[in-house]
A and B are shown apart, each in its own frame.
Chain A
Amino acid sequence: MRTEKRPLDTEINVVPFIDLMAVTIAFLLITAVWSQTGTLPVSQAGPGERADEVEAPPPRELKLTQAGLTLDGERVPVSELTARMQGVQSATIVTDDAVQYEALIQVIDACRAAKVEGIAVTPAS
């Protein structure tokens, strides 16, 4: 009986693989989120919430106006705020009506960089 010799080099069929890849790429491209967003959590001191008031030590008061930022009555530039807030547990940012949102976010960001846990935002007056 004669056995027929088959060639040893077989070829993998790559067509289904390429199909799968193409479909996966299309799916991932559509679902991809291109803008990297995040959130800054804040609590609200004042009329909305009263739970945090019993906490000791009392929160440091940051006053944010259009003219600038003051920490417990002393003027502080935002760039130095992170260094000044080291070790502080909680802070209340008293914000003036005319302040732009971006300025407020910068202050919250600086506080979070100093690992301040409870950041509250409250309107002035």
Chain B
Amino acid sequence: MGIKVPGKRMGKRFEHSKVFGHAHAKKSGFADLLVTPLVDMFVIIVLFLIANFSATGEVLMMSKDISLPEAKNVQDIQSAPVVTVSKTEVLLSGALIGRVEDFTREEYLNIPLLEEKLRDERKKFEDLHSAANDSGAFKGDVNIQADKGVEFRIIKRVMFSCASAGYGNINFATLNVGGGPADAPKKEESASR
């Protein structure tokens, strides 16, 4: 080991330290912010968000008391009236129709209020389209968003009400757990055309 000058001898890793290091070099007062990594990160985030951007938007309002069942072979969700059936209540597009408890006790085949509201909705749709001279025919799509624990006796009444109000195309909303894209069956349809 060589002979060293006496004095402060810090470890090698402190050589560049402002406090323990060697005599300070005069640095200019301007610190340039490195924007390149920032821009890189932004570009990646934007690309990721655009990749899973959906133009249909949120048709279903997710709420805590409804856990949707899972399914693999699903279709893309269409924008249509949503009948929500939670464990306690039935709603149409967010407006309360009634309580599940009452519907379980009753012996009717349908839910009169729901049917009436759906008829109103249908009339509104048709009025709007005839006013705009739009040939878009009423397809009768309706989405049913039900909790997985709901009994079929409620679903049955909701389905019957939808059918008698003219909404024949009933769609059960589910969580898509299949790895593939949600519109897989649709693509086959367009390919066969």
Residue numbers of A with Cβ under 8 A of B are 14, 17-18, 21-22, 24-25, 28-29, 31-33, 35-44, 47-49, 95-102, 104-106, 108-109, 112-113, 121, 123
Q: A37-B173, A39-B78 are in contact. Are A99 and B151 (CB under 8 A)?
A: yes
What's the least CB distance linking B14 to chain A, in Å? 35
B98, CB-defined interface residue at 8 Å: no
Q: Of B152, B156, B170, which is within 8 A of A42 by CB?
A: B170
Contact A43 B35 (CB under 8 A): no
User: In the complex, which residues of chain A have a beta carbon less than 8 angstroms from the beta carbon of B74?
Assistant: 37-40, 109, 112
User: In the complex, which residues of chain A have a beta carbon less than 8 angstroms from the beta carbon of B147?
Assistant: 101
Whole-angstrom CA separation of A64 from B12 in the bound complex: 76
In this complex, what residue of A is CB-closest to B154? Answer: A101
Stretch at the interface among B1-9, B23-31, B50-58, B125-133: B50-58
**A-B complex: 6 closest residue pairs judged by Cβ atoms:** A38-B74, A48-B163, A28-B49, A39-B171, A102-B148, A21-B42
Contact A38 B176 (CB under 8 A): yes
> What are 26 residue pairs bridging A and B, where the CB atoms are less than 8 Å apart in the complex?
A25-B42, A25-B46, A31-B53, A33-B52, A33-B54, A33-B57, A36-B176, A37-B74, A37-B175, A37-B176, A38-B176, A39-B78, A39-B143, A40-B71, A42-B171, A47-B109, A48-B159, A49-B163, A100-B148, A100-B152, A101-B148, A101-B149, A101-B152, A102-B148, A104-B152, A109-B71
What's the least CB distance linking A78 to chain B, in Å? 12
In this complex, what residue of A is CB-closest to B56? Answer: A33
User: In the complex, which residues of chain B have a beta carbon less than 8 angstroms from the beta carbon of A22?
Assistant: 42
Q: Is the interface of A mostly helix, strand, loop or mixed?
A: mixed
Whole-angstrom CA separation of A98 from B69 in the bound complex: 17
Q: A31-B57, A33-B54 are in contact. Are A96 and B174 (CB under 8 A)?
A: no
Contact B49 A106 (CB under 8 A): no
Contact A101 B72 (CB under 8 A): no
B19, CB-defined interface residue at 8 Å: no
Contact A38 B170 (CB under 8 A): no
Whole-angstrom CA separation of A47 from B168 in the bound complex: 12
B118, CB-defined interface residue at 8 Å: no
Contact B71 A98 (CB under 8 A): no
Q: A25-B49, A33-B57, A41-B171 are in contact. Are A102 and B77 (CB under 8 A)?
A: no
User: In the complex, which residues of chain A have a beta carbon less than 8 angstroms from the beta carbon of B169?
Assistant: 41, 43
Whole-angstrom CA separation of A41 from B54 in the bound complex: 20
In this complex, what residue of B is CB-closest to A38? Answer: B74
Q: A14-B35, A33-B57 are in contact. Are A97 and B152 (CB under 8 A)?
A: yes
